[in-house]
Amino acid sequence: MSANVKIISPIDGSVYAERPIAGDAAIDAAISAARAAMPQWKATPVAERGRYMLAFLDALSAMNDDITTELAWQMGRPVRYGGEKGGAEERIRAVVAMAEEALKPYFPPEKEGFRRYIAREPLGIVLVIAPWNYPYLTSINTIVPALLAGNAVILKHAAQTLLVGERFAEAFKRAGLPKGLFHNLVMSHEQTEKLIGSGRVDHINFTGSVAGGRAIERAAAGTFASLGLELGGKDPAYVRADAKLDHAIENLVDGTFYNSGQCCCGIERIYVDAAVYDDFVEGFADLTRKYVVGNPLDQSTTLGPMARSTFADTVRAQVAEARRKGATALINMNVDGDKSGSPYLAPEVLVDVNHQMEVMREESFGPVVGIMKVRDDDEAITLMNDSPYGLTASIWTRDMERAAELGSRIETGTVFMNRCDYLDPYLVWTGVKDTGRGVTLSKFGFDTLTQPKSYHLRDV
């Protein structure tokens, strides 16, 4: 096992940063410090915890110019998009605002001679295993609510975005967060599995692949630690005949290709009513051709490289397989460096696709989408549900009642109407089927990070 972890930049293949893997003693010390810091943190009022989180937000925001450039070097997102500052601010402010209400005791109907209530107790140590694609936002989803709920947090960030963990640690330090409550650890997969299996952490939140989720479950077996798993996705969109077509095209193109398609809830397949299919496809393809693929440090670049060349090659293989089976590629953009073994990949739109093609069934996680013509709502819903995943689904229509009705039939965690690829912090973020289990965000996210404790007090 290598003693160091290297960030290989997708920009030019260079080693952007290198960090040593934590020793077992450092991991043990972090767990011990976290456990020791918890009693005082648990006794700290929720409002005061919230002030620390807002100070953390201020500290993180002050670093944003550097963070934006670091993200381009680490995972390829163009600097023109300014990092993840806006989403981070929205989510942190929202969960701070809802924390006191979400964490307050529940009192059942009064019973003479008794005082009865249910309090929310912190779980203990929360281990966050974060991904590289939205390395700040996905981490914030659990870290901030976990601390607000009175827990301590250990962060193990993805190797591709190691510097994110360091930014979190520095921001919490600047915010004055009491020592011991947050630790950023560089760990190998083996060390992470060992820590999970040790029984020394109380909740594990993992965002990543289905295979990774299964490995987490195996490692946690017998520990009784709770799990939150956000795994694969193949999010669909359905454009009805009554959709506002220009709005649907603009938002679905962005939802498909933003972040080079490396979005958990990005659009990967689109079903369009036959009545508007031709106009939709023409408009979608025209707008896609406007993307500028290139170095993410260049302000003119709107589509940077994928985080790793292997990810790009997976998408290339899906496109090639679809074309062998009869799909038609509409874009065929010539891009410097777009070849096997390169992370630079042009966006592609496929038509004449079907569900025998991997591109319509398996997660792509890249800048490609298949568009299918459908006869009616029933066919669209059947195809949307023909997937092992279920994170989000979007319906594009002017009929809100019909959207809600159709949404009740879709096997998914979130139903959107006339928008996509967005997390509302006041709504629960969850998935069904192989997308995983567990909840983040909203008041329900606090339930997964706390343990209910009953008080049954009798007056004699």
Query: pLDDT by residue (tens digit) across 219-251?
Result: 999 999 999 999 999 999 999 999 999 999 999
Is the pLDDT at 1 greater than 80? The verdict is no
Task: Tell me if the domain spanning 4-232+434-458 has CATH number 3.30.700.30.
Answer: no
Give the pair of three-digit tokens for residue 82: 């300014």
The structure's pTM equals 0.96
- Exposure of 25 by Cβ count < 10 A (0-12 exposed, 13-18 middle, 19+ buried)? exposed
User: How do residues 304-318 score in pLDDT, each as one tens digit?
Assistant: 999 999 999 999 999
> DSSP strand E in 72-181: where?
114-122, 125-130, 152-157
Q: Note if 268 is an active site residue.
A: no
Q: How far apart are CA 68 and CA 87, in angstroms?
A: 13
The CA distance from 350 to 239, in Å, is 16
Q: Which residues, other chains included, contact 152 with Cβ-Cβ below 8 Å and sequence gap of 6+?
A: 34, 35, 37, 38, 41, 124, 125, 126, 180, 181, 182
Q: pLDDT per residue over 340-389, tens digit each? A: 999 999 999 999 999 999 999 999 999 999 999 999 999 999 999 999 99
| Mean pLDDT computed over 418-426 | 96
Mean pLDDT of 4-11: 97
Alpha helices in 295-337 (DSSP H): 309-324
Query: How sure is the predictor about 200, in pLDDT bands with cuts at 50, 70 and 90?
Result: very high
pLDDT digits (tens, 9 = 90+) for 426-454: 999 999 999 999 999 999 999 999 999 99
| pLDDT 10s digits, 49-75 | 999 999 999 999 999 999 999 999 999
Query: CA 190 to CA 169: how far, in whole Å?
Result: 23
Mean of the per-residue pLDDT values of the chain: 97
Kindly name the residue from 84, 230, 268, 348 that is annotated as catalytic: 230
Burial class (CB in 10 A: 0-12, 13-18, 19+), 331: middle
Write down the pLDDT at residue 309.
97
Share of the chain above pLDDT 70, in %: 100
Q: Residue 214: what residue type?
A: R
The set of residues, in sequence order, having a beta carbon less than 8 Å from that of 153 and lying 6+ positions away, is: 34, 125, 126, 127, 128, 142, 143, 146, 147, 181, 182, 183
Q: Which CATH class is domain 235-388+392-424?
A: alpha beta
pLDDT of residue 157 exceeding 80:
yes
Q: Which of 334, 450, 451, 431 is nearest to 389 (CA)?
A: 431
Local confidence band at 191 (pLDDT 50, 70, 90 cut-offs): very high
Task: Quote the tokens at residue 296.
Answer: 């993410």
Q: Which of 263, 264, 265, 420 is catalytic?
A: 264
Q: What SS3 class is residue 122? A: strand
* CB-CB contact of 92 with 171 (8 Å): no
Distance of CA 75 to the CA centre of its chain: 15
Query: Residues 367, 289: contact at Cβ < 8 Å?
Result: no
- Output the pLDDT for position 130: 98
| pLDDT at residue 74 in the model | 98
| Beta strand ranges found along 56-172 (DSSP E) | 114-122, 125-130, 152-157
Helix 189-197 vs helix 24-43: angle between axes, to the nearest 10 degrees?
Answer: 50
Contacts of residue 46, Cβ cutoff 8 Å, sequence gap at least 6: 99, 100, 103, 148
Distance in angstroms (rounded) separating the CA atoms of residues 134 and 228: 17
168, 88 Cβ separation under 8 angstroms: no
Phi, psi of 452 (to 5 degrees): -70, 140
Q: What is the C-alpha to C-alpha distance for residues 311 and 63, in angstroms, rounded to an integer?
A: 29
Span 154-158, mean pLDDT? Answer: 98
- For residue 415, the SS3 value is strand
Average pLDDT over residues 274-288: 98
Check residue 298 and give its pLDDT.
Answer: 98
Judged by DSSP in three states, 436 sits in strand
Band (pLDDT 50/70/90 cuts) for residue 153 is very high
CA nearest to 78, candidates 349, 340, 336, 292:
292
Percent of the chain scoring above 90 in pLDDT: 99
Q: What is the pLDDT of residue 370?
A: 98
* Domain definitions of the chain by residue range: 4-232+434-458, 235-388+392-424
> Is pLDDT at 266 greater than 90 in this prediction?
yes
Return the structure tokens found at 149: 């709920």
* SS3 call for 179: coil
Is-catalytic flag, 100?
Answer: no
